[in-house]
Amino acid sequence: MKHTKFITLLSLFFLIVSCSNESTSGGPSLGSGNTGNDGDNNNGQSESIYYSPQYSLKEVASYYVGVGATWSRLTSSGSNYGSIVGREFNSITAGNAMKGSVTNPETIEEYNWEPGDEIINFAEENNQRVHGHTLIWHNQYPGWIDSFSGTDEQFEAAVEKYVKDVVSHYKGKVASWDVVNEALESNGSLRTNSPFYQRMGEDYIKKVFTWAREADPDVKLFYNDYSLASTSSKTQGVVNLVNSLKDAGVDIDGIGLQMHIRVDYPTNSTITSNVKTLTDTGLLIHFSELDVIVNDNGSLSELTYNAALDQKNKYKDVFEIYDETVPDDQKFGVTIWGVRDIDSWLNPNMNNHSDWPLLFGLEYEYKIAHEGIIEALKD
Ligand code: XIL
């Protein structure tokens, strides 16, 4: 009796499940950013924004695949966040933990190493490379910079101390540093709204690279910036900057392209030609902060299957471009700027609407964007 009741209930369950699949078949289905959609389309293919992975990124990749990570989430015990970061990636960049605003928040004398050290510990436990981000930037710099009351010479000496202290602290623990971040305008000229430019003059970049090298002879030194995949005038500005460092005998090992891109911009051919220009410098190439915006105009109130599919294809294209355009010995790796969509720096977001730029859903579901990368890496 009990048994018959169970079978009836089970049949009812399957009936409901099959009806709900049918109701979403035949058209693009709306999957909420949190729950996804598991309907079937006319080809019998799944139309879910999520999928079940067979491989992790790091096990398929022949170069480093990294993540921009938040230290407090990494270290909270039993966290899915930590498991995903450990399982999927073999390189970590601290999202904020190694920026001046965190390491040197108030006075020149006082350092706060704990957040960055937690990242290092996590990476050591999980056999991951650490990329340091970032020493000198016109945002999130040390707290004392704005209130510095000494002369320009004293300011420069204080910056030298800060750069050398930070590089020395992480010596042997980080593989590389974004030494200077976002120093150029879109037209390739030097950004002037930076306290470092204003107080140290246009040679500040050369000086900072020199100090970083003095503090650690082995660490790889990068210049990092945005819009390098989209804007050839800026890309050319980076080439000029690299040449001016080389001409002055200043060491630089690599270029970081942030790669905050959209599903529809820049085009693959534009990305390819800019990456080629930078690759021709002979330096290491890092896609350092990749995310793919799907909702730039704010028209979506949830992530649709079509948008998720466009995003999957763009992630796949970007990894294919990296693989094909950058010679193996210049591949420093590709780093994705965060774990779940909700963790992204673009959420709650800059323009008052949500976006879903990353690889994982709210409950750490694998988005099909992850599958796109796996497909590119396995090709
Ligand atoms: C972002 C972080 O992800 C956020 O958590 C923080 O509030 C602001 O900075 N370019 C960079 C990164 O080089 O350091 C920025 O990271 C994103 C833009």
d(CA 344, ligand 1 centre) in Å = 9
Q: At what angle do helices 204-215 and 232-247 cross, to 10 degrees?
A: 60
Tell me the percentage of the chain whose pLDDT exceeds 90: 83
What tens digit of pLDDT does each residue of 203-232 get? 999 999 999 999 999 999 999 999 999 999
Position in ligand 1 atom list of the atom nearest CA 99? 14
- The answer to whether the CB of 223 falls within 8 A of the CB of 180 is yes
The pick from 92, 96, 136, 177 for probing ligand 1's pocket by mutation, whose C-beta has the most ligand atoms within 8 angstroms, reads 96
pLDDT for residue 76 = 80
What is the average pLDDT across 27-55? 59
With bands split at pLDDT 50, 70 and 90, how would you rate the model's confidence at 372? Answer: very high
Pick from 288, 308, 309: which is nearest to 356 by CA? 308
| Structural tokens at position 205 | 């970049």
Q: At residue 50, what are phi and psi to the nearest 5 degrees?
A: -115, 165
d(CA 290, ligand 1 centre) in Å = 12
pLDDT for residue 353 = 76
Q: Does the structure show a pLDDT above 80 at 74?
A: yes
What is the average pLDDT across 20-33? 31
Q: At residue 221, what are phi and psi to the nearest 5 degrees?
A: -110, 125
With bands split at pLDDT 50, 70 and 90, how would you rate the model's confidence at 7? Answer: very low
What is the average pLDDT across 151-179? 98
Q: Does the structure show a pLDDT above 60 at 15?
A: no
Q: Does the structure show a pLDDT above 90 at 269?
A: yes
Q: Collapsing DSSP states into helix, strand and coil, what is residue 145?
A: coil
Q: Collapsing DSSP states into helix, strand and coil, what is residue 62?
A: coil
Position in ligand 1 atom list of the atom nearest CA 337? 3
Please state, rounded to an integer, the average pLDDT across all residues of the chain: 89
Pick from 307, 326, 325: which is nearest to 315 by CA? 307
Residue nearest to atom 5 of ligand 1 (CA): 345
Tell me the percentage of the chain whose pLDDT exceeds 70: 86
pLDDT for residue 117 = 97
| Structural tokens at position 365 | 């579901």
Residue nearest to atom 12 of ligand 1 (CA): 95
Residue nearest to atom 1 of ligand 1 (CA): 345
Degrees, nearest 5: CA angle 231-236-239: 135
Residue nearest to atom 16 of ligand 1 (CA): 95
Position in ligand 1 atom list of the atom nearest CA 68? 3
Please report the DSSP string for 184-215 in residue order: B-TTSSBP-SSHHHHHH-TTHHHHHHHHHHHH
Characterize the bridge pairing of strands 220-225 and 254-257. parallel
Residues with CB under 6 A from ligand 1: 95-96, 181, 258, 289, 345
pLDDT for residue 351 = 56
d(CA 13, ligand 1 centre) in Å = 46
d(CA 28, ligand 1 centre) in Å = 33
Q: Please give the Cα distance from 212 to 251 (Å, whole number).
A: 9
Pick from 17, 16, 18, 42: which is nearest to 29 by CA? 42
Handedness of CA 220, 107, 138, 70 (dihedral sign): positive
pLDDT for residue 379 = 84
Residue nearest to atom 13 of ligand 1 (CA): 181
Residue nearest to atom 17 of ligand 1 (CA): 345
pLDDT for residue 34 = 39
What tens digit of pLDDT does each residue of 243-258 get? 999 999 999 999 999 9
d(CA 224, ligand 1 centre) in Å = 12
Reduced 3-state DSSP string for the chain:
CHHHHHHHHHHHHHHHHHHHHHHCCCCCCECECCCECCCECCCCCECCCECCCCCCHHHHCCCCEEEEECHHHHHCCCCHHHHHHHHHCCEEEECCCCCHHHHCCCCCCCCCCHHHHHHHHHHHHCCCEEEEEEEECCCCCCCCCCCCCCCHHHHHHHHHHHHHHHHHHCCCCCCEEEEEECCECCCCCECCCCHHHHHHCCCHHHHHHHHHHHHCCCCEEEEEECCCCCCHHHHHHHHHHHHHHHHCCCCCCEEEECCEEECCECCHHHHHHHHHHHHCCCCEEEEEEEEEECCCCCCCCCCEHHHHHHHHHHHHHHHHHHHHHCCHHHEEEEEECCCEHHHCCCCCCCCCCCCCCCCECCCCCEEHHHHHHHHHHHC
Position in ligand 1 atom list of the atom nearest CA 288? 13
d(CA 299, ligand 1 centre) in Å = 24
What tens digit of pLDDT does each residue of 184-206 get? 999 999 999 999 999 999 999 99
d(CA 346, ligand 1 centre) in Å = 9
Catalogue the active-site residues.
Answer: 182, 289
What is the average pLDDT across 315-336? 98
pTM: 0.89
Position in ligand 1 atom list of the atom nearest CA 224? 13
The pick from 134, 227, 345, 349 for probing ligand 1's pocket by mutation, whose C-beta has the most ligand atoms within 8 angstroms, reads 345
What is the average pLDDT across 30-48? 49
